[in-house]
Amino acid sequence: MVSIGNYRHAVRGQPANSRDGQVGVVGTSRVTGLSRFRHRSCARCVGLAVRRLCFLMFCAMAALIAVTVHHGAVLAAPDSWTEPRAAMVRTIEDYAAELPKRFGSGGISGPVLNVMGEVPRHLFVPQGVQHRSYDNTPLRIGHGQTISQPFIVALMTELLKVDEEATVLEIGTGSGYQAAVLAELVKTVCTIEIIPPLGETATRRLKKLGYDNVQTKIGDGYFGWRDCGPFDGIIVTAAAGHVPPPLIKQLKPGGRMVIPIGGVFGPQYLTLVEKTADDTLRTSQLLPVRFVPFTRGTR
């Protein structure tokens, strides 16, 4: 036996005298036993921590797999609008085949048709008319405005003849559908809407759908958007009595503008304005159309 005093000495690393005259033998043994106990306790703690960590990692992996499977299932879920969109594209092709020869024999190009088959038009119209989203007809979107029929959207887009590096101006954002179609084909779309509720709703919609290359503005489109230009192409989605001079000025040499020209009650014609390299204008009336009137306001 070692006295408490001797044990304390041994713990402190000092020699403890036993009755047989040996120095620190029994005390050292006690210290060694305590040390082993501590080591075993630490080992058990480490083992427990490792098991808990493994369990947490397993739970995290299981959760990740579950989310991945669910996401895959959502992506794989059939889109009820796929067939109506495909039927709409076929209708556009049929209409394009009847275009006059001055439009060219190519009709509507593949890239434009592909985009028309991808952009979800049903998300750009009021819920009450969603069932008609892919009919080849204009639809009312409120505030006395309409979303153009798909064929006209495709045709006006095609007539611009722009590439993926182009910057395009749209006058008359409306629901944002035409801007979304353009955004899939060009680098930047700048679109102006004079009716604040429409412009604000379209801005939120385009942002929610991820069209980050679309810039929106509330204002009078007659004056264009000088800070966003000059433009490779300009689309006007309302009938004007004449081509606004500020838009001509903001159109790049070699650029194209597509605009309906005509009165509210008189005939309207879809008109192509081309600016040559020397700033000469060439204007062509293409086909009769019917658009809402160009709304004016203050700058």
For residues 229, 159, 146, 85, the Cα torsion angle rounded to the nearest 10 degrees is -120
Contact indicator for 244, 195 with CB cutoff of 8 Å = no
Any idea what DSSP says for residue 221?
G
Nearest to 155 by CA among 272, 294, 273: 272
Asked if 275 contacts 243 with a C-beta cutoff of 8 angstroms, the reply is no
And the tokens for 257?
Answer: 């503008």
In residues, how long is the chain? 299
Write out the catalytic residue numbers.
148
CA distance 193 to 220: 7
Q: Which two tokens stand for residue 155?
A: 């045709």
Q: What is the 3-state secondary structure (H, E, C) of 243-254?
A: CCHHHHHHEEEE
